[in-house]
Amino acid sequence: MNDLQPIALPGIDPRRPLVIAGPCSAETEEQVLDTARALAAEGIRIYRAGLWKPRTKPGGFEGVGTAGIPWMQRVKRETGMYTATEVATRDHVVAALKGGIDVLWIGARTAANPFAMQEIADALRGQDVPVLVKNPVSPDLELWIGAIERIHNAGIRRLAAIHRGFTSIDKSIYRNHPMWAIPIELHRRLPSLPIFCDPSHIGGKRELIAPLSQQAMDLGFDGLIVESHCSPDCAWSDKAQQVTPDVLAYIIRNLVIRDETITTESLNELRDKIDKLDDQLLELLARRMRVSRDIGQYKKEHNMPVLQAQRYEELLDKRARQAVQMGMDREFMRSVLQAIHEESVRQQMEVLG
């Protein structure tokens, strides 16, 4: 995929972050226009609003549909902003393009469905419109790449990904777990594909928008898509994760964009530090394995089994909690400990064998 073109639209500052902002849903003409005017006044150039809303359960607000297209056209005319909306079917694509929507995005539920993705790709063939593909709800990188490839195969070259977090059974502070390793791996696999972060859907709460946006910038993301509403508490969908346009502008102004601050020299020093720490880590691990072997010896002499499941579960749980307090991810710590444990068991078995 080395034939991609920049997503930035004419007249938009190409420096990161490229910001797309607007309400989760278009609700009324007044709400769409009030929010758009306030965002335009804050310098936002691409306006998002969901016209068709994929709701988890029936009975909720499912969007105003094509009735909202003239509202989006007014936004363009009156503020000069570009407009963006979510498409999930062939009909959405046709209606959005006919209505002059400038940017399309594909939602997380749709991206998880190859049939829906193919239908959208077929509808996009021959069109030249920027398309942003959200990650599927499950942490499945291949499915995400597959969805992106279908759009690329249809001839779309202004293409980007949106990282909006993943459903997880583990309780956490996030609505959708960020699992940053997945978009980082996406970047390694498709280096020319721009990646946006959607801190509203990852965090699920207003107060997480700023820290998640900063994290995305620190990881080199290209843009942000943030939910912003003129009166978030009255929003018809996703009210907890929308901020007013002035709060959004404040968050963006305060982002630290670290591009040139790290010189090669200081970077080398930091890499040196990492190398030394890795040496120490290895040394510690080897020492820990030696203790495991001693335990193996002890168990052998006292006819005890190698695996003691209860102690292991307690240990895992305690250390995972401790890791969180030290600013590390719980899942990360669990997998590190699991790998160490596997090697310990192998070493003990060697002593027994």
3-state helix, strand, coil in the chain (%, to 5): 50, 10, 35
Minimum distance from CB of 243 to Mn ion (Å)?
Answer: 13
Q: Which is nearer to ligand PEP, 105 or 244 (CB)?
A: 105
- Sign of the torsion angle spanned by Cα atoms 199, 202, 203, 205: positive
Minimum distance from CB of 164 to ligand PEP (Å)?
Answer: 4
- Sign of the torsion angle spanned by Cα atoms 234, 239, 244, 245: negative
Cβ atoms within 10 Å of 38's Cβ, excluding its own: 19
Residue 199 to residue 68: CA distance in whole angstroms: 25
The tokens describing 98, both together, are 């006919």
> Of 23-31, 91-99, 148-156, 302-310, which segment contacts Mn ion by CB under 5 A?
23-31
Indicate which single residue of 19, 26, 84, 108 sits in contact with ligand PEP (rule: CB under 6 A). 108
Choose the one of Mn ion, ligand PEP, none that binds residue 134, judging by a C-beta under 5 to 8 angstroms depending on kind: ligand PEP
Minimum distance from CB of 270 to ligand PEP (Å)?
Answer: 35
Q: Which is nearer to Mn ion, 119 or 238 (CB)?
A: 238
Q: Phi first, then psi: give them for residue 324, nearest 5 degrees.
A: -60, -40
Q: Does 101 bind ligand PEP (CB under 6 A)?
A: no
Choose the one of Mn ion, ligand PEP, none that binds residue 164, judging by a C-beta under 5 to 8 angstroms depending on kind: ligand PEP
Residue 349 to residue 341: CA distance in whole angstroms: 12
What is the radius of gyration, based on Cα positions, of the chain? 24
Residues in the chain: 353
Count interface residues toward Mn ion (CB under 5 A): 2
DSSP state of 180: T
Q: Does 164 bind ligand PEP (CB under 6 A)?
A: yes
Q: Which is nearer to ligand PEP, 86 or 119 (CB)?
A: 86
Please report, as residue ranges, which positions from 54 to 73 form the binding site for ligand PEP (by CB under 6 A): 54
Q: Does 201 bind ligand PEP (CB under 6 A)?
A: yes
Q: Does 50 bind ligand PEP (CB under 6 A)?
A: yes
Q: Which is nearer to ligand PEP, 24 or 93 (CB)?
A: 24
Q: Cα 88 to the chain's mean position, in Å?
A: 19
Indicate which single residue of 7, 8, 24, 143 sits in contact with Mn ion (rule: CB under 5 A). 24
Minimum distance from CB of 110 to ligand PEP (Å)?
Answer: 7
Minimum distance from CB of 136 to Mn ion (Å)?
Answer: 16
Minimum distance from CB of 50 to Mn ion (Å)?
Answer: 6
Q: Does 24 bind ligand PEP (CB under 6 A)?
A: yes
Please report, as residue ranges, which positions from 114 to 153 form the binding site for ligand PEP (by CB under 6 A): 134
Q: Does 238 bind Mn ion (CB under 5 A)?
A: yes
**Contact indicator for 52, 65 with CB cutoff of 8 Å:** yes
**Contact indicator for 308, 299 with CB cutoff of 8 Å:** no
Minimum distance from CB of 203 to Mn ion (Å)?
Answer: 12
Return the closest-CA partner of residue 336 out of 273, 265, 288: 288
Minimum distance from CB of 100 to ligand PEP (Å)?
Answer: 20
Residue 6 to residue 158: CA distance in whole angstroms: 6
> Of 69-77, 87-95, 232-240, 255-263, which segment contacts Mn ion by CB under 5 A?
232-240
What would the 3-class secondary structure string for 187-238 be?
A: HHHCCCCCEEECHHHHHCCHHHHHHHHHHHHHCCCCEEEEEECCCHHHCCCC
| Footprint of ligand PEP (CB under 6 A) | 24, 50, 54, 86, 107-108, 134, 164, 201
| Footprint of Mn ion (CB under 5 A) | 24, 238
